[in-house]
Amino acid sequence: MSKSTITLDVHLDEQKVPEKIFWSSGGPGNEEMQKAKAFILSLWDGADKSALRIDIWTKDLMVDEMTDFFYQTLMTMADTYNRATHDDELVNDMKNFAKVFYQKFRAKQMKDNKLT
């Protein structure tokens, strides 16, 4: 049986706030650690029928970066759900939600910028 290892290193500041994140997938040609500003790790516990998750972001991640990250993650989750279920209706609902989420953020950002 083959095996793959994913490594996540989170560097904390003196107050234990995430300052830097590095990751690698450990496969051939992927041994070098890559820098990231955030990650969301979700695992399914089949025995408990519950989702387990870890979400960490660095203190220098900007709100617009977090919004882009969430938008792209929601779209990717919809694609993953589509590959697993082939339920086009629910996939379209998920993608439409992601688009509305992103549009609302951008509209709020434009409004806030006009006020300053």
**Does the pLDDT at position 114 exceed 90?**
no
Q: Where are the domains of the chain?
A: 1-60, 62-116
Give the C-alpha separation, 35 to 114, whole Å. 34
Enter the tokens of residue 30: 């992927």
Beta carbons within 10 angstroms of residue 40's beta carbon: 13
pLDDT digit string, tens, across residues 25-60:
876 776 789 999 999 999 999 999 999 999 999 999
Q: What is the rounded average pLDDT of the residues 75-84?
A: 98
pTM, rounded to two decimals: 0.87
Let me know: does 24 contact 32? Beta carbons within 8 Å.
yes
pLDDT given for residue 48 in this prediction: 97
**Does the pLDDT at position 116 exceed 70?**
no
Query: What are the residues whose beta carbons fall under 8 Å from the beta carbon of 98, sequence distance 6 or more?
Result: 71, 74, 75, 78
pLDDT bin (cut points 50, 70, 90) of residue 115 is low
Beta carbons within 10 angstroms of residue 21's beta carbon: 20
pLDDT digit string, tens, across residues 80-106:
999 999 999 999 999 999 999 999 999
**Does the pLDDT at position 11 exceed 90?**
yes
Residue 34: enclosing H or E segment and its boundaries?
strand 34-36
pLDDT given for residue 31 in this prediction: 72
